[in-house]
Amino acid sequence: MGERDFEALLAAHDAGDMAGFTRRFVDDLEAALATKIEVEADTDWSGVLCLGMGGSGAGGMFLSALADHAGGLPFVVWRDYGLPSWWGPDWLVIATSYSGDTEETLDGVRAVLEDGGTVVGICSGGALEDLLAESEESLCLSVPA
């Protein structure tokens, strides 16, 4: 198959530009790795709670599997409204929502911020970015839209 045929095939069947996302992956990864994350390093976290629905929760599941195998802290995935009954501000929260507007994730983040917790958000904008911009204890990592 020639390059023109491939491009025509993509134009016909890749409305979401997944091939483009794949092509830009290395550049996006390099940019993410160069991002300075300023969360207090000496915090004695009890664990990490990962908030995210659908595909946005997949990163938390991956981190949980790594932590179960070779980690020093528990990583727990929460795919629901609010927070687990056992959660406390001594748990770091990673909230992932590509759009930044996922209702369940935003509900959990609001609860964390109200209870004095720390959130690292990962999104392409939306209400999540706005919420975290208002918190001195939290930060937002932007992903390409």
Residues in contact with 38: Cβ distance below 8 Å, sequence separation at least 6, in sequence order: 139
Verify that 55 and 107 share a domain, yes or no. yes
Q: How far apart are CA 22 and CA 14, in angstroms?
A: 12
Model pTM score? 0.78
Residue 41 covered by a domain = no
**Where is average pLDDT lowest: 18-27, 32-41, 80-89?**
32-41
How many independent structural domains does the chain possess? 2
Average pLDDT, the chain: 88
The two tokens of residue 88 are: 């406390």
Verify that 55 and 20 share a domain, yes or no. no
The two tokens of residue 101 are: 């507007």
Verify that 20 and 56 share a domain, yes or no. no
Q: pLDDT per residue over 105-123, tens digit each?
A: 999 999 999 999 999 999 9
Residue 84 covered by a domain = yes
Q: Which residues pair with 77 in a beta bridge?
A: 50
Residue 135 covered by a domain = yes
* pLDDT level of residue 1 (50, 70, 90 thresholds): low
Question: Is 54's pLDDT higher than 70?
Answer: yes
Verify that 58 and 103 share a domain, yes or no. yes
Burial of 48 (0-12, 13-18, 19+ CB in 10 A): buried
Domain that holds residue 10: 3-34
